[in-house]
Amino acid sequence: MFAEVTTCSDNRSVRCVRQLFCAEREGSRWCRGLLICIGLAAAASCSATETLSSPNVVHSRLLAKNVEMSPASWSPSSEEVVFDSNEPSGVFVVTVESGASRRLASAPTFNLPAWSPSSKAVLVTDFSQPRRVLLLETAGGSSTETLISAPRGSMRTWPESWSPDGTRFIFLDDADLFIFDLAAGEALPGPIARAVGTATWASDGEEILVQRGLEVSRVPSDPGREVTESYGPARLYRSAPNGHVWILPLALHRDRTEDHRLHEVDRSSAHVSEWDFSSKVTGFDVASKSGRVVVAVDGVGIEILDPATGERLRLTTGARDQVPVWSPDETMIAFLRQQVRMGPVDLYVIPAPIVGG
């Protein structure tokens, strides 16, 4: 790691630190570079990232243009990303290292792809009538299997549907939440919760976080057990590997500063920590191993927060960078970028610092 001084477009100088993050993967060593700029000028008129000269370095790289405004989903190997495309329409997989992409499905009604954490299959919802939940095999590129068909026409899955071990997924039929067991080949008796808006698995795979109305609560995956803790009203929420829950509260006050703050609570909903950002938080994700949090802040960019050390690291200064998603190995982050408000959305990837790297 070494420091350098960068001159910005308005001739102000900013002190920057260039750092290489290296890791071993499949017997080979790879490195990615990060230029971290400190000072007001970095946020005002300078880029906080830069590609290093080494051919093994990639940084803040465009993967696909004109994609849907929905989270990208990583392959278990962290080498590929599946996403919805607007033009051309369909579900695509892109290889992060080479940028090469291939189409898994051309149907414009296939949406919200979710890569299984334990296989080469991608879960999608077909929004035609009747709605269907499908598995797309990424290896063959064309094999599909219909798992469920819903004549009521309101069924859907989403990128957070998979259980951590990839053996089950949750889906909504109308506003009823069900679990589908892949080994059994059918939905389990249920529903496990009613009047649900959104849901995601808890990190232990035994419970599910659900949003009903404004309230977020933890419910068991076994419908015979009682509902457990409630965490209050929230706009976004995620489970951490230590069992804690990260919550972005609804902005209920006139000054709307609540949407600037992330709250960490334990299983019993007791307060653990609170993190204030300079503007509205538009999305965040919690790493499944280290528990680090990646946060997209409107008008500011993307930051990494390490709850264990209290450190915060700015990765981008894109005013409309949003929907960040950790790769399973926690070395990269996929995110969406809009150059202009209400404009087209592009898919990017950026390397993340490695714990102990």
- What pLDDT, in 10s, does the model give residues 173-215? 888 999 999 999 988 887 888 899 999 999 989 899 999 888 8
Of the pLDDT bands very low, low, confident and very high (cuts 50, 70, 90), residue 6 is very low
62-351: which CATH topology? Methylamine Dehydrogenase; Chain H (2.130.10)
User: How far apart are the C-alpha atoms of 342 and 247, rounded to whole Å?
Assistant: 26
End-to-end CA distance of the chain: 12
CB–CB of 258/227 below 8 Å?
A: no
The pLDDT value recorded for residue 278 is: 83
User: How far apart are the C-alpha atoms of 339 and 343, rounded to whole Å?
Assistant: 7
3 state SS of 334: strand
3 state SS of 48: coil
Q: What is the mean pLDDT of the chain?
A: 79
Query: Containing H/E element for 302?
Result: strand 301-306
Instruction: Calculate Rg over the CA atoms of the chain.
Output: 21
User: How far apart are the C-alpha atoms of 326 and 73, rounded to whole Å?
Assistant: 9
The pLDDT value recorded for residue 27 is: 39
Whether residue 277 is predicted with pLDDT greater than 70 in this model: the reply is yes
Whether residue 326 is predicted with pLDDT greater than 90 in this model: the reply is yes
User: How far apart are the C-alpha atoms of 143 and 169, rounded to whole Å?
Assistant: 20
Of the pLDDT bands very low, low, confident and very high (cuts 50, 70, 90), residue 56 is very low
Higher pLDDT, 29 or 251: 251
Of the pLDDT bands very low, low, confident and very high (cuts 50, 70, 90), residue 148 is confident
Whether residue 51 is predicted with pLDDT greater than 70 in this model: the reply is no
Tokens of 337: 């970028």
Whether residue 14 is predicted with pLDDT greater than 80 in this model: the reply is no
User: How far apart are the C-alpha atoms of 123 and 170, rounded to whole Å?
Assistant: 11
- Burial group, residue 158, by CB count within 10 angstroms (0-12, 13-18, 19+): buried
Q: Alpha-carbon torsion 249, 250, 251, 253, what sign?
A: negative
The pLDDT value recorded for residue 142 is: 60
The pLDDT value recorded for residue 7 is: 31
The pLDDT value recorded for residue 228 is: 65
The pLDDT value recorded for residue 82 is: 95
Higher pLDDT, 187 or 341: 187
Spell out a b/e string for 290-315, using b for 16 or more CB atoms within 10 Å of the CB, else e: bbbbbbbbbebbbbbbbbeeeeebbb
The pLDDT value recorded for residue 4 is: 30
Task: Give 40's DSSP letter.
Answer: H
The domain limits of the chain are 1-59, 62-351
Query: How many residues would you count in the chain?
Result: 357
The pLDDT value recorded for residue 253 is: 58
Instruction: Choose among 210, 143, 130, 118: nearest CA to 170.
Output: 210
**Preceding peptide of 164 cis, ω within 30°:** no
Task: Give 17's DSSP letter.
Answer: E
> Percentage of residues in the chain with pLDDT exceeding 90?
45
Could you report the per-residue pLDDT of 222-232, keeping only the tens digit for each?
766 666 678 88
